[in-house]
Structure 1
Amino acid sequence: MEWGLFHSQPGIDIIDFRKDYNTLNARGESLLQSKLFKEPARKRRCLILADGFFEPHYPNDNFKAKPVPKYCYLENRKLFCFAGIYNEFDDEYWNVSLVTTEANDFFGKIHNKKKRMPLVLDPTFEAEWLREDLSDKGILDLVKHGFIKEEFKAHSVANIYKREINTNTPEFLEPVDDGAGEQGKLF
């Protein structure tokens, strides 16, 4: 499986496509209006299991500064499911995009530039998201109202994103001081 949805069509080079389009995320509000996302949203919805994720935060709303990564998670790093959509080619190759939505108050303070958040489905809506007969209205209702009811927590983590370093280890999730003074302590 690979992150970032794309269509397999004659004449489309995947490397060129990825240079031109960022499809890691799919805006939930416009899923059904997008040529790329409409069919997967209607026919190939999935759940993406996680125990946390990163969001960019600009301390003191200074959008010219380098963002500080915030690690977002539920109490006790409880597992949750993102809403996703996918494509499948030749029964061997799959690609997936994470569905996003407008940020709630908590995530609006964290992802403070674009004010977006991933659609973390409330467990009561996970089976609904996967229903093959889910209508367009049902899809959009879940995008708008399906976010988990539990409260998230977040803290700053080291800003180390290098391809040659394995950051998939517990020490990279340790809280760090983001230098934002009192504002940084809110998260």
Structure 2
Amino acid sequence: MCYDVKTSLEAQLKRAKRSQDLKAIEEIVEKLGPLTDLPLHHASGFSHPEVLIYTNEDPFYPMVATWGLIPHWVNSVEQQKKIWNSTLNARVETIFDKPSFRDAANEKRCIFYVDGFYEHHHFNNNTFPFFIHRKNNEPLALAALWSKWIHPEHGGIINSFSIVTTKGNGMMAKIHNNPKLKEPRMPLMLSEDVEEQWLSQNTEFEQELTALLNRENDVELQAHNVGKLRGKTYAGNVASIADEVKYPELEFNEFKF
């Protein structure tokens, strides 16, 4: 799964900079930046941070959205609070079947750029966090779904999103070994050449998704252990949270990436 990320305004400007519209970039920094919780050296989805996403409605100008998709059909704040924590991730295998994600999968796909993400490895009844990022240190483009919800009490619009996950492979198959899950998971990472396909307005996208998932992904990852992300020793949202930490318990060859 993907519940912990690191992201910065610089990473989230990655796509906007492709348009080379300096005025638009300046506007994003000045107007949208202050509305977010950036920078997030470490953030849990359960805190529902405000970040930037790029949607299929405007692929190069982001919008502010909160992590945890709120389906448009939610009709009360009570219902919204109940569903929020269960929509941080959306399994790609079922996004066209689940009521929470079906409409968004067909009509509202987006991209969430991060510097990297964190996952926990289980070993000897303990958990050891890893930070995963691109080998070239460029931002990761995570496939996501979004929704526009109208607050029933004050009529304000809340944009929200869910990170799409897929079966973990390669390095992630080793790291993400949660015994409560049937298989390892990881966020669906998009190489630059398939970002446009994910953001396409094609209403028959379900048919294209299988081909997209079967394409060879050229996103190369790198990982290292970091300090605890939960409990009394958690350092919080500070830059050093992503620094490498050595755990003697994990001195075995399978993590020599």
Question: Normalising to structure 2: TM-score of the pair?
Answer: 0.63
TM-aligned CA distance change 1:103 to 1:131, over 3 Å: same
Aligned to 1:171: 240
Q: Is 1:95–2:165 an aligned residue pair?
A: no
**Aligned letter for 2:67?**
W
Of 108, 121, 138, which aligns to 2:173? 108
TM-aligned CA distance change 1:134 to 1:13, over 3 Å: closer
Q: 8 Å contact 1:125–1:146 — kept in the other structure? A: no
Aligned to 1:151: 220
Q: Give the Cα separation in 2 of the matches to 1:140 and 1:166.
A: 41
Q: 8 Å contact 2:111–2:142 — kept in the other structure? A: yes
Q: Give the Cα separation in 2 of the matches to 1:172 and 1:147.
A: 32
Aligned to 1:14: 80
Structure 2: runs of 5+ lacking an equivalent: 1-64, 151-155
Aligned to 1:48: 112
Q: Give the Cα separation in 2 of the matches to 1:133 and 1:46.
A: 13
Q: Give the root-mean-square deviation of aligned CA atoms.
A: 2.3
**Aligned letter for 2:162?**
S
The count of aligned residue pairs is 179
Q: Give the Cα separation in 2 of the matches to 1:186 and 1:100.
A: 25
SS of the residue corresponding to residue 6 of structure 1 reads coil
Structure with higher RCO (Cα < 8 A, 6+ apart): 1
Q: Give the Cα separation in 2 of the matches to 1:166 and 1:175.
A: 14
Percent identity, aligned pairs only, is 26
Note the C-alpha offset of 1:141. Answer: 3.0
Aligned to 2:13: none
Q: 8 Å contact 1:70–1:156 — kept in the other structure? A: yes
Note the C-alpha offset of 1:17. Answer: 2.9
Q: 8 Å contact 1:28–1:140 — kept in the other structure? A: no
**Aligned letter for 1:101?**
T
Note the C-alpha offset of 1:92. Answer: 3.0
SS of the residue corresponding to residue 137 of structure 1 reads helix
Aligned to 1:79: 139
Note the C-alpha offset of 1:180. Answer: 1.6
Q: Is 1:4–2:4 an aligned residue pair?
A: no
Q: 8 Å contact 1:49–1:80 — kept in the other structure? A: yes
TM-aligned CA distance change 1:33 to 1:185, over 3 Å: closer
Q: Give the Cα separation in 2 of the matches to 1:45 and 1:174.
A: 32
**Aligned letter for 2:250?**
A
Q: Give the Cα separation in 2 of the matches to 1:104 and 1:128.
A: 22
SS of the residue corresponding to residue 121 of structure 1 reads coil
Q: 8 Å contact 1:69–1:157 — kept in the other structure? A: yes
**Aligned letter for 1:141?**
A
Aligned to 2:207: 137
